[in-house]
Amino acid sequence: MQRERVSATLLATYVALVIAQTWAKPIYEFLNGNRAIFKIYIAGRVSPFSITAALFVIFVILIAQKSGLKSARSESLSNLEVLVFSLCSTALIIATILSFMPQEDLGRILEASKIARLLLRYHNLLIVLPPLLIILFGIRRGD
């Protein structure tokens, strides 16, 4: 069961990243009165970070928990692979949320946290690392 959740969370993270980056701006414009949908305007005061982070977190949770994703390959994951993919998923989620933050707020977090600095510095690597690890672990298993 844990192996399936790790796989689903990793996939959910990538899907949520795409959704957040694609839909945050139109939703932000709608919620702040800059765009109408069916001639309906909403004049709110929501930050772009709030919209992007909320979309990302909501879709990670929904896809990971409710999608019914089950990988036939997940049964063959070793404990080491589950641990590595869990750490990669967690690091990618945190780094992605940090990347959505306004520079002013992000600066304060980066000053206070060495881990946040590392995660943000290597965000692009964290995006490509899980697929590379899937390939490497697959080669190691002889798949």
Q: For 43-91, how does the pLDDT look when each residue is reduced to its tens digit (9 = 90+)?
A: 677 788 888 889 989 888 888 777 555 554 445 667 888 888 889 888 9
Q: Which residue has the higher pLDDT, 52 or 38?
A: 52
Digit-coded pLDDT (tens) for 81-121: 888 888 988 898 899 899 888 999 899 999 999 999 999 99
The pLDDT score that the predictor gives to residue 124 is 86
Q: Look up residue 29 and give its amino acid.
A: E
User: How is the chain split into domains, by residue range?
Assistant: 2-141
CA atoms within 13 A on the CB side of 8: 20
The terminus-to-terminus CA distance of the chain in angstroms comes to 22
